[in-house]
Structure 1
């Protein structure tokens, strides 16, 4: 594959190479069943508990000196249950979290078409997996889906001083695989982290994975290219100016 001077391709992980959102929805569905079938919560109450849990994940502030990530997330379920009805929910919260975590990790798989695309692309360019997130959480996802062998380097934002969109982590990736920013492209689903970060770091191009092309016709920041499926990437790279 001729890549017009591109020496490295940086890939986001969540919702770019693996369907993290879909896996999370399916895992939450299993938790809902557990809450309704094995507890005194109604379907409406169970949905509120799960909604609260997911909201707490969005605004997560983790300090490893206080507790483990697993204990913190168990507390999200426990607190969410207590907000619905008073009681001792420690054991049930642990069951819900363990079920959610196990199901989600099991459902994080890489499509065969994506594997083939990465294998073929790696013959012509260095591939770097660049993902934001807390170290334990992201490393568990990476191990669960078995994606590491398709990459020359794996960089987890939570292991560094700054995450995407900070230029520093993109420049760290460049140094890691000994390439210049102007010889790299960034591929990801997030405008705020992947695309903005690639632009901030001065990469050759940013490629936005937008699975809902009718939902955002004027993205900001504006990526250089837009694709609706990650396996369409090689076509863009071949014609990249």
Structure 2
């Protein structure tokens, strides 16, 4: 692999929906909660589906959780709000807690890093420094990182929730450069989100940005240097930069 010739020394990888299928795991978790609401609490299909949709919307809105907030309490409250908005009344005592426990347990059970992704990272690390750069709550992201045993594949791990700013802020990219001892122009970022991974990489002056677009979304805003359907295509891209 022509890493030296290309002048690339380091790769920054996003985590969710780049290296692991968080969306798929969340979908499995939502279906489990829907089954719970229907089988144990008599919800109609449409009402149970709406609860899940409302929770997912609220979860996305609260993605950048403050360091001071207890994530379990916050997400239990989001379930309570989703249920109340759907049914028009406060949920039964303990229902929101039960929904959250089922959702969290199921989601974590389905979070994993595929063997082929692990093999790719091991190969890449022979030629490059690797850093995992992920947004989100420190508590939530650390759980995923520990389950996937990510530490063994990376020279450093940076979680947005542990810093003052998250992607696409320049400051967190500068922290990555500092940790790896590299310059921006010697780095490539790989991620699935245009407004955080790609925009952040462009603004930070990285050598190249690689967008994982598995669902054929239209590029809106930040323009990546390369677009691929799977993270496994990164090997081929690097050989041609």
Instruction: Report the CA distance between 1:229 and its aligned residue.
Output: 1.0
Change (3 A) 1:52 1:212: closer
DSSP-derived class of the 2:99 partner: helix
- 2:197 corresponds to 1:194: yes
Specify the alignment match of 1:21 in structure 2. Answer: 23
Distance in 2 (CA, whole Å) between partners of 1:88 and 1:220 is: 41
Instruction: Report the CA distance between 1:167 and its aligned residue.
Output: 1.2
Specify the alignment match of 1:55 in structure 2. Answer: 57
DSSP-derived class of the 1:38 partner: helix
DSSP-derived class of the 2:214 partner: coil
- 2:136 corresponds to 1:163: no
Specify the alignment match of 1:233 in structure 2. Answer: 234
Distance in 2 (CA, whole Å) between partners of 1:104 and 1:37 is: 20
Instruction: Report the CA distance between 1:225 and its aligned residue.
Output: 1.1
- 2:5 corresponds to 1:2: no
CA deviations over 1:164-208 (Å, ceiling 9, x no partner): 111111111010011111100000011100010001110111111
Distance in 1 (CA, whole Å) between partners of 2:54 and 2:92 is: 15
Q: What pairs up with 1:113-152 in 2 under 5 angstroms?
A: 113-152=116-155
Decide whether the 8 Å contact of 1:118 with 1:150 is kept in 2: yes
Distance in 1 (CA, whole Å) between partners of 2:190 and 2:25 is: 21
CA deviations over 1:113-172 (Å, ceiling 9, x no partner): 111000000000000000001111111111122222111100001111111111111111
Structure 1's unaligned 5+ residue stretches are none
TM (norm. structure 2) is: 0.94
Change (3 A) 1:29 1:163: same
Instruction: Report the CA distance between 1:235 and its aligned residue.
Output: 0.9
Instruction: Report the CA distance between 1:52 and its aligned residue.
Output: 1.1
Decide whether the 8 Å contact of 1:185 with 1:207 is kept in 2: yes
After TM superposition, the structure 1 stretch with the greater mean CA deviation from structure 2, 44-53 or 171-180, is 44-53
DSSP-derived class of the 1:13 partner: coil
DSSP-derived class of the 2:41 partner: coil
Q: Which residue of 188, 207, 211 maps to 1:208? A: 211
Change (3 A) 1:90 1:56: farther
